[in-house]
């Protein structure tokens, strides 16, 4: 599902700025949609001339569900942290939800954090607080009134299937339930984009599939999803778009498949 651009295009193919949001499409093919994430020649270096991410260019449309694959250490976590604005790019341009992150002021950063829900490998759950308080905290920090915050926290907990476990502390929950709690905390501010770094890494396959289904529920109502995983079994069971990260490079797996097919065809045609 894509959130379509509202401006009518005269040209059949187009790419333009609609306010701060870039829209792309091809009316002859019947599609046009907002870009929620744009990377243009992005590099990220942690020093010594080694690029954790090198010349990354891609885009993600509103409402897409995208897996980010690649081996450990390939740069998946760096990619997600750049999208969330947790680290700056060394070079290049990143635009998220219509905001150029390189030009984002300190005053505007809290609004980005509300637009992008983040679930990192280390969930940073507060073990001295109840599950309910963990979900409530982001709403209190962003200044919601207590009644609204309480209602939204309760709704988020119910949405991820933790109703009845609100008073438990995270350490008293199973690994799968801890992930559900982290998801509830990430979505309580109703973000437009939700990113998760290896959210199923320590779960068995059945539990992992249940967590993916929770993400799908949010995607069905228009939330743009990016999930990083190196679990090929999990990827094989879903026909979603996949961005593959390896040695700091980002490839669309459809492009890789097309290149492999062309190479194989050329090899067959050689005498």
Give the residues across from 32 on adjacent strands. Answer: 25
* Residue 134 domain flag: no
User: What are the C-alpha distances in Å from 197 to residues 21, 32, 79, 80, 228?
Assistant: 26, 29, 10, 7, 5
* Lowest mean pLDDT, pick from 152-161, 177-186, 197-206: 197-206
Cβ contact 249:68 at 8 Å: no
Maximum Cα–Cα distance for the chain, whole Å?
75
Cβ atoms of 31 and 23 closer than 8 Å: no
Give the structural domain span for 237: 37-126+173-269
Q: Do 243 and 252 meet the contact criterion of CB atoms below 8 Å apart?
A: yes
Residues in contact with 48: Cβ distance below 8 Å, sequence separation at least 6, in sequence order: none
Overall average pLDDT of the 194-219 stretch: 88
Q: Is the pLDDT of residue 223 over 90?
A: yes
Q: Where are the alpha helices (DSSP H) in the chain?
A: 76-83, 109-115, 131-141, 146-159, 175-187, 205-220, 232-236, 253-269
Domain count for the chain, please give it: 1
- Confidence bin at 38 (pLDDT 50/70/90): very high
Q: Answer whether residue 124 shows pLDDT above 50.
A: yes
| Length of the chain counted residue by residue | 271
pLDDT at residue 62 above 80? yes
Model confidence over 91-122: pLDDT tens digits?
999 999 989 999 988 888 878 888 899 998 88
Specify the pLDDT at position 181.
Answer: 94
CA distances (Å), 160 to each of 118, 156, 182, 247, in order? 15, 7, 10, 35
**Cα 38 from Cα 20, distance rounded (Å):** 12
Least-confidence region, from 185-189, 193-197, 204-208, 223-227: 204-208
Mean pLDDT of 208-222: 89
Average pLDDT over residues 219-224: 92
The model's confidence at residue 67, banded by pLDDT at 50, 70 and 90, is very high
If you average pLDDT over residues 63-73, what whole number do you get? 90
pLDDT at 41 over 60: yes
Tell me how many helices (H) and strands (E) the chain has: 8, 12
Q: What is the pLDDT of residues 19-34, one digit of tens each?
A: 444 555 544 444 445 7
Tell me whether residue 157 is in a domain: no
- The pLDDT of residue 194 is above 90: yes
Is residue 19 assigned to a domain?
A: no
201 confidence band (pLDDT: 50, 70, 90): confident
Indicate the pLDDT class of residue 84, thresholds 50, 70 and 90.
Answer: very high
- Residue 7 pLDDT greater than 70, yes or no: no
Model pTM?
0.79
Residue in the block written with tokens 């080694």: 50
Q: What is the dihedral of CA 204, 207, 209, 215, to 10 degrees?
A: -130
240 pLDDT more than 70: yes
Model confidence at 231, pLDDT cuts 50, 70, 90, reads confident
CATH code of the domain in which 204 resides: 3.40.50.300
Q: What is the pLDDT of residue 1?
A: 38
pLDDT at 86 over 80: yes
**In percent, how much of the chain has pLDDT > 70?**
81
Q: Is residue 29 part of a domain?
A: no
- Domain assignment present for 18: no
Over the chain, what is the mean pLDDT?
82
* Residue 23 within a domain: no
Is residue 62 domain-resident? yes
């Amino acid at each position: 599902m894509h959130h379509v651009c509202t401006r009518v295009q005269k040209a059949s193919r187009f790419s333009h700025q609609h306010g701060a949001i870039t829209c792309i499409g091809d009316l002859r093919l019947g599609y046009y949609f907002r870009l929620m994430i744009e990377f243009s020649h992005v590099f990220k270096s942690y020093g010594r001339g080694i690029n954790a991410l090198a010349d990354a260019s891609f885009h993600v449309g509103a409402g897409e569900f995208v897996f980010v694959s690649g081996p450990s250490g390939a740069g998946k976590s760096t990619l997600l942290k750049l999208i969330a604005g947790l680290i700056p790019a060394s070079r290049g341009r990143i635009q998220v939800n219509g905001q150029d992150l390189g030009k984002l002021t300190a005053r505007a950063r809290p609004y980005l954090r509300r637009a992008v829900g983040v679930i990192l490998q280390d969930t940073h759950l507060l073990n001295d607080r109840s599950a309910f308080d963990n979900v409530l905290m982001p709403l209190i920090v962003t200044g919601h009134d207590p009644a609204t915050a309480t209602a939204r926290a309760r709704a988020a907990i119910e949405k991820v299937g933790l109703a009845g476990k609100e008073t438990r502390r995270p350490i008293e929950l199973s690994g799968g339930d801890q992930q559900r709690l982290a998801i509830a905390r990430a979505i309580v501010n109703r973000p437009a984009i939700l990113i998760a770094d290896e959210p199923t890494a320590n779960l068995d396959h059945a539990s992992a599939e249940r967590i993916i289904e929770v993400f799908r529920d949010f995607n069905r109502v228009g939330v743009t999803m990016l999930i990083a995983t190196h679990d090929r079994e999990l990827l094989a069971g879903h026909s979603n778009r996949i961005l593959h990260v390896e040695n700091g490079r980002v490839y669309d797996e459809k492009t890789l498949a097309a290149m492999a097919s062309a190479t194989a065809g050329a090899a067959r045609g050689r005498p």
